[in-house]
Amino acid sequence: MGQLIEVEAVRLGAVAIFDTDRSLGGQDGETFKREDGQDSISFSAQAANSIFAADDAATSVYVYSNTLAVHRDGDWSDDAIAVTSSAIKNFLIYYDENRDSGH
């Protein structure tokens, strides 16, 4: 159930911009910070939670329509980009057997 999301990433120091082929938030944009804890059930908050769960160094996620800006402690390595891209790519997948395990 669900479809994989296409993701393209661009690094900008401690921030990476992830552009997707699906809208994950509204046009007003929302910022989620790890330290605030996300108990919201909104779609954007759940997307942020999946990124926080995948990358312990992610500190905040800004969701604006089909774009996510993720700030993390330290620079983005290839592995960190792959882990976060995978979390976004699999966000809409419900059953584990449908997940993309590749980075």
Q: pLDDT tens for the chain, 103 residues: list them.
A: 578 999 999 999 999 999 999 999 888 899 999 988 667 788 899 999 999 999 999 999 999 999 999 999 988 999 999 999 999 999 998 776 667 776 5
Q: How far apart are CA 68 and CA 12, in angstroms?
A: 13
> Which runs of consecutive H residues, i.e. helices, occur in 1-103?
43-54, 78-89
Report the first-to-last Cα separation within the chain, whole angstroms: 20
pTM confidence score: 0.88
At residue 11, the pLDDT reads 96
Domains and CATH numbers, the chain: 7-98 (3.30.1370)
